């Protein structure tokens, strides 16, 4: 119920004119105010629900990033090269401690008396064998690669025959006075790692060396087959 703006006569809310004095009444449209009030009461972007969703999104994003980083590290350290390199690191570390190291080797070779320090430099090469590599050692090979090492071709050929007869990973396919043909039966991967090392010589004097370690998995697991220093 409302009253007339002119004579205070009681009127219905929807009346536009007073039925007593005939005065025009003011509009009672409040829809805009109501709409503004509803809009004003709506949750803003900084509401607790909105903040919770934002926090969850951030936490989820961080989790995804950490998972990807962890996966990348896992893949990297599981590569054949890293597995082979860890064998060298463990071997040298145990040498420093004076512990048993034969488990890291696939063949017999002399260990350093005392390893003071070591540092990985680079991977010199990586080779993969499929058990079907065939090499022919003939006069052409002799003239091209080893003529300066062996005085005669006959001496070179005899040396190769003796070497491969004793090599359990090789099979001699042909053997005569002109050549020897050898198949490499190795299956697996082989790596050469270069290290800077400080060791002591037999007199106990510290010396610096560059050492190349050959590591392969021809026996089913990575082992050090030999090393060369200079």
Residue 50 has pLDDT above 70, yes or no: no
What residues pair up with 3 in beta bridges, in sequence order? Answer: 10
pLDDT of residue 2: 80
Report how far residue 150's alpha carbon sits from residue 225's, in angstroms, rounded to the nearest whole number. 25
DSSP 79: S
Compute the distance between CA of residue 185 and CA of residue 62 in angstroms, rounded to an integer.
49
pTM assigned to the model: 0.60
Cross-strand pairs, 102? none
20: closest CA among 11, 30, 33?
A: 11
At 151, is the pLDDT very low, low, confident or very high (cuts 50, 70, 90)?
very high
- Window from 35-39, 119-123, 177-181, 206-210 with minimum mean pLDDT: 35-39
Q: Residue 70 — very low, low, confident or very high, per pLDDT cuts 50/70/90?
A: low
pLDDT of residue 7: 83
């Amino acid at each position: 119920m409302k009253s007339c703006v002119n004579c205070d006569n009681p009127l219905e809310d929807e009346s536009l004119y007073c039925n007593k004095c005939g005065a025009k009444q003011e509009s009672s449209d409040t829809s805009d105010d109501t709409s503004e009030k509803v809009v004003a009461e709506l949750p803003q972007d900084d509401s607790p629900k909105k903040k919770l969703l934002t926090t969850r999104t951030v936490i989820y994003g961080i989790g995804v990033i950490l998972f990807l980083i962890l996966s990348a590290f896992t893949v990297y350290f599981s590569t054949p090269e890293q597995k082979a390199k860890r064998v060298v690191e463990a071997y040298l570390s145990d040498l420093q401690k004076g512990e048993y190291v034969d488990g890291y080797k696939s063949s017999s070779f002399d260990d350093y008396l005392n390893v003071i320090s070591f540092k990985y430099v680079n991977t010199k090469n990586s080779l993969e064998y499929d058990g079907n590599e065939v090499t022919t050692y003939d006069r052409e090979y002799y003239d091209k690669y080893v003529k300066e090492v062996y005085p005669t071709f006959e001496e070179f050929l005899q040396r190769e025959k003796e070497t491969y007869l004793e090599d359990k990973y090789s099979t001699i396919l042909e053997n005569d006075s002109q050549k020897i043909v050898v198949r490499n039966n190795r299956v697996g991967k082989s790596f050469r790692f270069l290290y800077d090392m400080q060791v002591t010589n037999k007199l106990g004097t510290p010396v610096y060396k560059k050492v190349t370690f050959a590591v392969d998995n021809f026996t089913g697991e990575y082992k050090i087959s030999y090393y060369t220093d200079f």
